[in-house]
Amino acid sequence: MSGTYLGMPAFPVAAKAALGNETLRGNLRHATHTIRDKRAKAVAELDDWALLREAGKQIKDHTLRHLDRYLVQLEESVTAAGGVVHWAGDAAEANRIVAELVKATGETEVVKVKSMATQEIGLNEALEAEGISAYETDLAELIVQLGDDLPSHILVPAIHRNRGEIRDIFRDRMGAWGRAAPEDLSDVPADLAEAARLHLREKFLRAKVGISGANFMVAETGTLVVVESEGNGRMCLTLPETLISVVGIEKIVPSWQDLEVFLQTLPRSSTAERMNPYTSMWTGTTDGDGPSAFHLVLVDNGRTDTLADEVGRQALRCIRCSACLNVCPVYERAGGHAYGSVYPGPIGAILSPQLRGIGSEVDASLPYASSLCGACYEVCPVAIDIPEVLVHLRERIADRGGKGHRLEKAAIKASGWVFDHPKVLAAGERAASLTRKLHPSRVPGGAAWTDSRDLPELPAAPFRDWWKKNRGEKNRGEENRGEKNDQGGKNNRGEGTAT
Amino acid sequence: MRAALFVTCVNDAVYPSTGIATVRLLERLGVEVDFPEAQSCCGQPQFNTGYRRETEPLVRRTTQAFEGYEYVVTPSGSCAAMVRRHYPEIGGADAAALASRTYELTEFLVDVVGVTDVGAYFPHVVTYHPSCHGLRMLGLGERPRKLLEAVRGLELRELPGAEECCGFGGTFAVKNSDVSAAMGQDKVRSAVSTGADVLCGADNSCLMHIGGILSREDAPMRALHLAEILASTEEEPWS
């Protein structure tokens, strides 16, 4: 690999591989730019966007501050409505609970609504180990599952695939999972959608157990909410006899009225729609209507630890809209897989290391996978200051030391000492300038820099020398007219290439 | 009017021409410029890389160096953002007071001096890249563009995708050098497509990155700091 500075292999290595894939880069660029432009238009339609954003932030912060109270209220409401609430401390516990609930029905197949929480805990794999097949019914999730692939985007998990690739996956793999795709399937979107529709319909009508996540849970009523575009979610939520919803504890809102804010900000931020096509709400069970058994599995899996961090906890405000992914220049180039998590992009870079800890190489590399450009913060509908959290997590990682960071810390301390002693700094600058032809690449990270960029040629003298000579006490007001040439005309920004 | 110049460590060591241009420009507009020699680095690279403790002495030093000045001006949006945004949380009341007196150059010209036409002459085709910290953390808005539009002889061309990061990002440029370079190459492609012969910005760190790619790719364009364009006059052309 080409010089990653002081060894931060995980994200940089994965990103480099993605950068070499021209098809992937083309797919990502086209998709993210299309969504971001549409989102900007949809948001611009609302005069009160800033207020909605602030309201969303406040509602979420208030809820997180009193999470204990609202979770108990939610449990009471769900129970009163005929549901059963289960508490899971971590992924393994959540998976065990769900597997037991499915086994109790005697079924070996379940249909699933797209859910980040179940991806996060690896539910499909855990169910498979218990002999239970979990079928994804969201179109993009279906593409990922059939392709034996991993999701690479929160909202559009198959964003890294183009039409041709999807046609091939459908043609080659659908038959092994259920109704096969036509042999002569084209890559026209309507044909692809029809193949998926017929394949999925067979599964919806057969399934006795449905598994979902939820975008929101309303504490006061015990109502769960899923917003979606395809209608597959509504089929999964209403057709099976048993519904199991697996939801992160941070998805709660206190009251029904709070939804008014998020049902405006979420669709506009994610799909650039004024309103999502399907909003499904379910509250416990009702005789003769929908599932006769309803289980809610509330998942912690690192969330209370995240909540304990004053700066980092704002990541729990996330409503999974993915607007930050679509504007992120790093995500656009590196792709979602490079983040090594179901939560890619800027939000993934702050969420994954908090939920999973910073023990692994990939988690320790994620907070550095950003240029801190701030575009993610600008679009976030609940105003998560992602750059602030990134820097905060970098502190934690740098503090811990470890691979690469000891050397880095020594370099930072040394340079800090020099910067705190301007006379030494001035002498160093002068020495560097005088010997500038000899060692232009001898700066920290020089190799990583010069792989693709020329280094600046140092000037003949630093600014402070010019100042002393031309504006210092004695010479004040007597500017040396030859000054500019003293500074080295062609230095480092490509001057000289234009003339 | 008197102002202290915070030249920044990058300008001091690598781009003195930007500091010189800033001094000339401000003096031409009747501002008396001081350069407190006790200044050094604002601490942004350390802070953004996760070394908050190591940043603290530099925050104290910078705060002391500029004590007593009503205005502190810097030709760097990103260092101005560091002082304005992070100094209050790192350095307490004195640092917060410095934050409120610190201006990025274009802010100072438009908001404090009250000019958009600084009497410059620069007969080139120019495209402007608004660096992220100036754009989003400081909210410079139209100020740089207004200043450029008033320059005689200058033709300003819109940069497609102007608000996208160029990929510099401080230590990001070396820690994730491949992604950083890919972002920079895309930026350069957009800039060259405008047909401009100068890419102008208000942050030499970003310009170092963009210029390094322009130079490596032998592109028919050079990168130049906004201050150097504004300093240029018919009598004393900058280049």
B42 shares its domain with B143: no
The total of structural domains in chain B comes to 2
A301 shares its domain with A425: no
Among A8, A456, A483, select the one facing B175 at the smallest CB separation: A8
pLDDT in tens, B135-194: 999 999 999 999 999 999 999 999 999 999 999 999 999 999 999 999 999 999 999 999
The total of structural domains in chain A comes to 2
B128 shares its domain with B210: yes
Assess A455–B contact: CB distance below 8 Å, yes or no.
yes
Q: How far is A384 from chain B (nearest CA, A)?
A: 15
Q: How many Cα neighbours within 13 Å face the side chain of B85?
A: 20
Residues 6+ apart with CB under 8 A from A183: A171
pLDDT in tens, B87-107: 999 999 999 999 999 999 999
Q: What share of chain A is helix, strand, coil (3-state, %, to 5)?
A: 55, 10, 35
Among B17, B39, B222, select the one facing A487 at the smallest CB separation: B17
A146 shares its domain with A23: yes
Residue B98 counted as domain residue: yes
Domain end marker among B53, B79, B112: B112
Q: How far is A391 from chain B (nearest CA, A)?
A: 6
Closest to B215 in 3D by CA, of A440, A384, A228, A158? A440
The crossing angle, in degrees rounded to 10, of helices A463-471 and B16-28 is 40
Distance between CA atoms of residues A192 and A194, nearest Å: 5
Which residues in chain A are contacts of B140 at CB distance < 8 A?
A: none
| Total length of chain B | 239
Which residues in chain B are contacts of A19 at CB distance < 8 A?
A: 178-179, 182
- Burial profile B167-199: b = 16 or more Cβ within 10 angstroms, e = fewer: bbbbbbbbbbbbbbbbbbbbbbebbbebebbbb
Assess B28–A contact: CB distance below 8 Å, yes or no.
no
Residue B239 counted as domain residue: no
Contact A229, A267 (CB under 8 A): no
Q: What's the pLDDT score for residue A418?
A: 75
Contact A136, A236 (CB under 8 A): no
pLDDT in tens, A132-191: 999 999 999 999 999 999 899 999 899 889 999 999 999 999 999 999 999 999 999 999
Check A456 against B208: CB less than 8 A apart: yes
Which residues in chain A are contacts of B75 at CB distance < 8 A?
A: none
Q: How far is B121 from chain A (nearest CA, A)?
A: 17
Residues 6+ apart with CB under 8 A from A108: A131, A132, A133
Q: What's the pLDDT score for residue A414?
A: 74
Residue A279 counted as domain residue: yes
Measured CA to CA in angstroms, residue B128 lies from A186, B122, B131 at distances of: 45, 14, 9
Domain range holding A441? 403-450
B86 shares its domain with B136: no
Which residues in chain B are contacts of A376 at CB distance < 8 A?
A: none
B93 shares its domain with B142: no
Q: What is the CATH number of the domain that holds B189?
A: 3.40.50.11810
User: What residue in A sits closest to B57 (Cα-Cα)?
Assistant: A420
Q: How far is B154 from chain A (nearest CA, A)?
A: 16
Contact B187, B129 (CB under 8 A): yes
A36 shares its domain with A160: yes
Q: What is the CATH number of the domain that holds A43?
A: 3.40.50.10420
Which residue is associated with the tokens 């030709």?
Answer: B75
Among B51, B207, B210, select the one facing A412 at the smallest CB separation: B51
Assess A375–B contact: CB distance below 8 Å, yes or no.
yes
Domain range holding B222? 116-230
Domain end marker among A305, A332, A349: A305
Which residues in chain A are contacts of B37 at CB distance < 8 A?
A: 422, 464, 467
pLDDT in tens, B28-60: 999 999 999 999 999 999 999 999 999 999 999
Distance between CA atoms of residues A314 and A61, nearest Å: 8
Question: What is the block-wise mean pLDDT of chain A (499 residues), using blocks of 10 residues?
Answer: 36 92 90 95 97 98 98 98 98 98 98 96 97 96 93 90 94 94 95 95 95 98 96 96 98 98 97 95 96 98 98 98 97 94 96 94 94 98 98 94 74 76 75 60 68 89 95 62 47 46
Assess A402–B contact: CB distance below 8 Å, yes or no.
no
Best residue in B51, B127, B236 to probe A by mutation, most A CBs within 10 Å?
B51
Check B14 against A459: CB less than 8 A apart: yes
Residue B159 counted as domain residue: yes
A55 shares its domain with A192: yes
Which residues in chain B are contacts of A483 at CB distance < 8 A?
A: 20
Residue B238 counted as domain residue: no
Residue A240 counted as domain residue: yes
B97 shares its domain with B166: no
Distance between CA atoms of residues B209 and B141, nearest Å: 23
Q: What's the pLDDT score for residue A438?
A: 52
Q: What is the overall mean pLDDT for chain B?
A: 97
Distance between CA atoms of residues A255 and A85, nearest Å: 19
Q: What's the pLDDT score for residue B124?
A: 97
Assess B37–A contact: CB distance below 8 Å, yes or no.
yes
Q: Tokens at residue A349, please?
A: 């870079």
Assess A476–B contact: CB distance below 8 Å, yes or no.
no
Restricting to B residues 196-235, those with a Cβ less than 8 Å away from any Cβ of A are 197-198, 204, 207-216, 218-224
Residue B235 counted as domain residue: no
User: What residue in A sits closest to B78 (Cα-Cα)?
Assistant: A373
Among B14, B176, B238, select the one facing A12 at the smallest CB separation: B176
Q: How far is B144 from chain A (nearest CA, A)?
A: 19
Q: Tokens at residue A106, please?
A: 């005697």
**End-to-end C-alpha distance for chain A, whole angstroms:** 36
Assess B165–A contact: CB distance below 8 Å, yes or no.
yes
A266 shares its domain with A143: yes
Residue B144 counted as domain residue: yes
Q: What is the CATH number of the domain that holds B35?
A: 3.40.50
Task: Give the sheet arrangement for strand B102-104, strand by strand.
Answer: B32-34, B2-5, B72-74, B102-104
Assess B49–A contact: CB distance below 8 Å, yes or no.
yes
Among A373, A398, A496, select the one facing B51 at the smallest CB separation: A398
B185 shares its domain with B83: no
Check B58 against A4: CB less than 8 A apart: no
Check B175 against A489: CB less than 8 A apart: no
B159 shares its domain with B69: no
Assess B32–A contact: CB distance below 8 Å, yes or no.
no
Contact A312, A388 (CB under 8 A): no
Q: What's the pLDDT score for residue A435?
A: 61
Assess A5–B contact: CB distance below 8 Å, yes or no.
yes
Whether this prediction's pTM lies above 0.90 is answered by yes
Q: How far is A263 from chain B (nearest CA, A)?
A: 27
Among A11, A463, A483, select the one facing B7 at the smallest CB separation: A463
Which residues in chain A are contacts of B20 at CB distance < 8 A?
A: 463, 466, 483-484, 487
B200 shares its domain with B213: yes
Distance between CA atoms of residues A418 and B109, nearest Å: 32
B101 shares its domain with B140: no
Restricting to B residues 98-117, those with a Cβ less than 8 Å away from any Cβ of A are none
Cβ-based contacts under 8 A for chains A and B: 258
Percent of chain B at pLDDT > 90 equals 99
Which residues in chain B are contacts of A369 at CB distance < 8 A?
A: 176, 179
Distance between CA atoms of residues A27 and A21, nearest Å: 10
Distance between CA atoms of residues B160 and A472, nearest Å: 43
A300 shares its domain with A407: no
Assess A464–B contact: CB distance below 8 Å, yes or no.
yes
User: What residue in A sits closest to B86 (Cα-Cα)?
Assistant: A388
Which residues in chain A are contacts of B55 at CB distance < 8 A?
A: 416
Residue A430 counted as domain residue: yes
Q: What's the pLDDT score for residue A475?
A: 57
Among A3, A397, A444, select the one facing B177 at the smallest CB separation: A3
Distance between CA atoms of residues B43 and B82, nearest Å: 8
Residues 6+ apart with CB under 8 A from B97: none
Stronger pLDDT, A1 or B114, i.e. the higher one: B114
CA A145 to the chain's CA centroid: 20
DSSP letter for each residue of B36-92: -TT----SHHHHHHT-HHHHHHHHHHHHHHTTT-S-EEES-HHHHHIIIIIHHHHHH
Distance between CA atoms of residues B183 and B193, nearest Å: 16
Q: How big is chain B by its Cα radius of gyration, in Å?
A: 17
Residue B120 counted as domain residue: yes
Which residues in chain B are contacts of A416 at CB distance < 8 A?
A: 46, 51, 54-55, 57-58
Domain end marker among B73, B94, B112: B112
Among A425, A429, A495, select the one facing B222 at the smallest CB separation: A495
Cβ-based neighbour number of residue A260 at 10 Å: 11
| Total length of chain A | 499
A272 shares its domain with A409: no
Domain end marker among B81, B112, B143: B112
Which residues in chain A are contacts of B90 at CB distance < 8 A?
A: none
